[in-house]
């Protein structure tokens, strides 16, 4: 192959996203709380953004211009039209802002500053937020160390206890071998290293016994079997039987093989069931109560209400968003800087363009999210009327075709967004579900299949639970045709045990097997 250096021309066609398009997509994807944070950040970074309407100070042209911009942003395709900056249009707007600045009063800068009362109100609001913050929950390590503080332990033993406590996982188990928790030996020991290591290991075992006697019971265990045995209390009902089940038959209990356990132990099925009830009172994860499970707050972006005609209509929860305008103060600065300070003029021009892009992107987000949400609600009317059992199969491409946008725009619009409906708060993605075809040719959503599967399992005879093949036949009798592997997949996803594990041996004893 011949290699050479040279220049050549090549004609190619490619798609390049303008910065304005990228910003519009980012704004569309943000939920309401993230959008509020983004606006606050932009307010700090861009001095040309203002919360004061330009038309409020004898500046009517500015208000009309901004409203026209918002109307133009609401019309047209939000995702398909190319958002490329028109330099001539930007220059016209720039000159218009300069001319409008002549009508601003001289004391506008002083009057636009927040008053003392406003600053005090802001300070009080910040103080209330700090006062209402949730205190940090006590961790398992803190709880155990608080108990150890009441013990009179020798220094070396206390240090080893601390090592063990800090090595516990979130469930309270000690997964690290004791040998790995031992401190390094002093180099001058030489020949007596084995004896010193044995002494350290004996000290670690004593420390582990101390930890395992702390509350909650079962903490410091190295296996599920040890954890359950540590929680057995003298005098509890059927203590010996429960100990036998834990020690020798955990795997059989998991498989619900009670007849086999009865054959090996000589216990009756009733005795095993009573012992199993006592076993269920023990905690397999003693440290789980100390896990600080933070439930994230959900703020709906969209609200659904039924009008007088019985039709569902959507509205956006954007009332908390501050109204943004281009600062009249910087318009006046433009008039002062024209012709003289080119660097200042160019800086303000960039900031003004950035502010206008942000305002238009927010308006496009409002328009796109409203149209997409309304299309979803129109398709899922039966869900809102009759509940989740009546949900209809829906794909994002269907909504994209209906509102005339690209499917990726629909994906960004519904991403991490929540909708408040008469039946509760749901993520917008909840309404996009696949489906199958019933025996009569009707499209059935997978959610309806899962709900029907749960109903069949709940109503079955527990002395003879249905196998996966029997569940397929039961669904077919309901007009839902699915494969066995689909039933198995959904059963596992819904944490429904197998037919053997669901069997209730108290109603009918069967031979061991």
Q: Residue 97: left (phi > 0), alpha (psi -120 to 50), or beta?
A: alpha
Q: What is the pTM of this model?
A: 0.62
Name the CA dihedral angle for 405, 408, 409, 415, rounded to a multiple of 10 degrees: 150
Per-residue pLDDT of the chain (513 residues; tens, 9 = 90+): 566 676 777 776 655 456 667 778 888 888 888 888 888 888 888 888 887 655 554 344 444 444 444 444 344 444 443 333 344 444 455 555 445 444 444 554 454 455 566 566 666 666 666 655 555 677 889 899 999 988 888 999 999 999 999 999 989 999 999 888 888 776 655 557 778 788 888 999 999 999 999 999 999 999 999 999 999 988 888 999 999 999 999 999 988 888 999 999 999 999 999 999 999 999 999 988 887 666 667 888 999 998 888 899 999 876 667 788 888 777 777 666 655 567 777 887 888 888 888 888 889 999 999 999 999 999 999 888 888 778 888 889 999 999 999 999 999 999 989 999 988 899 999 888 877 666 556 667 777 788 888 888 888 888 888 888 889 888 888 878 888 888 888 888 888 888 888 888 774 444 444
DSSP letters for 248-272: H-HHHHHTT-HHHHHHHH---HHHH
Q: Which CATH architecture has domain 302-318+366-502?
A: Orthogonal Bundle (1.10)
Q: How far is CA 64 from the centre of its chain?
A: 41
Report how far residue 377's alpha carbon sits from residue 385's, in angstroms, rounded to the nearest whole number: 11
Distance of CA 143 to CAs 147, 161, 219, 277, Å?
7, 13, 12, 29
Report how far residue 422's alpha carbon sits from residue 303's, in angstroms, rounded to the nearest whole number: 9
Residue 216 preceded by cis peptide, ω within 30: yes
DSSP 215: S
SS (H, E, C) 117-171: HHHHHHHHHHHHHHHCCCCCCCCHHHHHHHHHCCCCCCHHHHHHHHHHHHHCCCC
Q: Give residue 212's pLDDT.
A: 93
In degrees and rounded to multiples of 5, residue 444 shows phi and psi of -120, 125
DSSP 323: P
Residues in the chain, total:
513
Q: How far is CA 251 from the centre of its chain?
A: 35
Q: Residue 344: left (phi > 0), alpha (psi -120 to 50), or beta?
A: alpha
Q: Give residue 121's pLDDT.
A: 66
Domain ranges of the chain: 19-110+320-360, 141-185+192-290, 302-318+366-502
């Amino acid at each position: 192959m011949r290699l050479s250096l040279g220049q050549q021309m090549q004609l190619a066609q490619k798609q390049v996203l303008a910065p304005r398009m990228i910003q519009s997509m980012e704004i569309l994807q943000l939920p309401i709380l993230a959008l509020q944070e983004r606006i606050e950040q932009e307010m700090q970074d861009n001095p040309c953004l203002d919360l004061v309407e330009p038309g409020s100070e004898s500046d009517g042209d500015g208000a009309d211009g901004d409203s026209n911009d918002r109307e133009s942003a609401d019309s047209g395709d939000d995702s398909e039209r190319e958002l490329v900056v028109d330099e001539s249009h930007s220059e016209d707007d720039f000159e218009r802002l300069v001319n409008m600045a002549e009508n601003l009063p001289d004391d506008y800068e002083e009057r636009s500053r927040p008053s003392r009362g406003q600053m005090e109100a802001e300070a009080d609001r910040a103080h209330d937020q700090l006062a209402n913050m949730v205190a940090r929950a006590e961790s398992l390590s803190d709880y155990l160390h608080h108990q150890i503080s009441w013990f009179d332990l020798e220094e070396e033993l206390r240090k080893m206890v601390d090592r063990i406590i800090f090595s516990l996982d979130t469930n309270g188990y000690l997964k690290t071998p004791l040998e790995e928790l031992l401190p390094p030996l002093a180099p001058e020991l030489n020949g007596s290293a084995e004896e010193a290591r044995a002494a350290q290991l004996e000290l670690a075992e004593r420390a582990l016994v101390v930890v395992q006697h702390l509350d909650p019971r079962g903490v410091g265990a190295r296996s599920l079997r040890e954890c359950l045995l540590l929680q057995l209390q003298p005098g509890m009902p059927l203590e010996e039987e429960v100990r036998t089940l834990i020690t020798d038959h955990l795997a059989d209990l998991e498989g619900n093989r009670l007849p086999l356990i009865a054959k090996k132990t000589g216990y009756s099925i009733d005795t095993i069931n009573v012992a199993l009830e006592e076993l269920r009172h023990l905690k397999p994860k003693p440290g789980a109560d100390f896990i600080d499970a933070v439930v994230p707050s959900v703020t709906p972006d969209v609200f659904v209400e039924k009008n007088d005609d019985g039709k569902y209509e959507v509205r956006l929860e954007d009332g908390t968003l501050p109204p943004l305008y281009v600062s009249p103060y910087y318009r006046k600065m433009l008039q002062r800087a024209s012709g003289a300070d080119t660097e200042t003029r160019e800086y303000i021009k960039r900031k003004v363009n950035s502010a206008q892009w942000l305002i238009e992107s927010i308006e496009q987000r409002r328009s796109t999210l409203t149209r997409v949400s309304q299309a979803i609600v129109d398709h899922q009317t039966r869900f809102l009327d009759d509940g989740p059992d009546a949900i209809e199969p829906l794909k994002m491409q269907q909504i994209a075709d209906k509102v005339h946008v690209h499917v990726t725009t629909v994906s960004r619009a519904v991403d991490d967004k929540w909708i408040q409906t008469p039946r509760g708060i749901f993520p917008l993605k909840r309404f996009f579900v696949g489906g199958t075809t019933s025996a009569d040719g009707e499209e059935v959503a997978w959610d309806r299949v899962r709900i029907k599967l749960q109903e069949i399992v709940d109503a079955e005879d527990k002395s003879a639970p249905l196998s996966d093949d029997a569940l397929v036949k039961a669904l077919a009798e309901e007009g839902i045709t699915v494969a066995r592997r689909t039933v198995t997949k959904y059963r596992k996803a819904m944490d429904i045990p197998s037919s053997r594990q669901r069997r209730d041996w108290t109603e009918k004893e069967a031979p061991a097997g």
